A and B are shown apart, each in its own frame.
Chain A
Amino acid sequence: GENVEQHPSTLSVQEGDSAVIKCTYSDSASNYFPWYKQELGKRPQLIIDIRSNVGEKKDQRIAVTLNKTAKHFSLHITETQPEDSAVYFCAATSPSSGYSTLTFGKGTMLLVSP
């Protein structure tokens, strides 16, 4: 099945800096890659996603890039703010399930200091 690796496990930045979180996946047939933000004690919230037919997608301060050849994708957050502090999870679809289920990385705890 699919395997998703996520790095780093923790990331500390100063307010206003950029943050980058990277993920790799194992199955070249995966075609959908969402990112979720989970604040302490709350549900995972979908913040951005990308499909395999595009290389980059932006939404205000966040962007995701995809390199299908290398089988990795990244989340970029610019002008970070304290409210960006949370755990971020990347995920990929599992072709073995008909692209229906998600395999998640282990998460990155982002801490933005004022």
Chain B
Amino acid sequence: DTGVSQDPRHKITKRGQNVTFRCDPISEHNRLYWYRQTLGQGPEFLTYFQNEAQLEKSRLLSDRFSAERPKGSFSTLEIQRTEQGDSAMYLCASSGTSGRSEQYFGPGTRLTVT
């Protein structure tokens, strides 16, 4: 499968715990995006990288959230001290920068904070 992949697909954690998600983009794509989707809503932008540089962060991204893309390939999204309000689907997408802006999404990681 040459599409965007995410791991894990599901994560259940207790409030206050830290969690980390991984995204592997389409191999030739140098842009990588993180979105969050709650039930009945469209995806909401969190942050994006071009290669290893984090170029933008949404105001939705509190200090408890951090994302990295150390080698410009896969990315990780960490949430520290999880809260029940963090329960959502975390989606990763990737795109190229050749003038085409199509973003292709991964299957998502569903986080449940109990």
Contact = CB atoms under 8 A, between A and B. Distances in A.
A49 B102 CA distance: 8
Interface string B52-93: 000110000000000000000000000000000000000100
Interface of A: 4, 6, 32, 34, 36, 42-46, 49, 89, 91, 93-94, 97-107
Interface of B: 4, 31, 33, 40-45, 48, 50, 55-56, 91, 101-108
A44 B45 contact: no
A42 B107 contact: yes
19 contacts: A34-B101, A34-B102, A34-B103, A43-B91, A43-B105, A43-B107, A44-B43, A44-B105, A89-B42, A93-B101, A97-B45, A97-B55, A99-B101, A100-B55, A102-B33, A104-B44, A106-B40, A107-B40, A107-B42
Contacts, number: 58
A18 B75 CA distance: 41
Contacts of A94: 45
Nearest 8 A/B pairs, CB to CB:
A104-B42, A43-B105, A101-B45, A89-B42, A43-B107, A44-B105, A32-B101, A97-B56
Contact of B104 (A46, A98, A101, A103): A46
A46 B42 contact: no
Contact of A105 (B4, B42, B106, B108): B42
A91 B102 contact: no
Contact of A91 (B42, B55, B107): B42
B105 to A, nearest CB: 4
Contacts of B91: 43-44
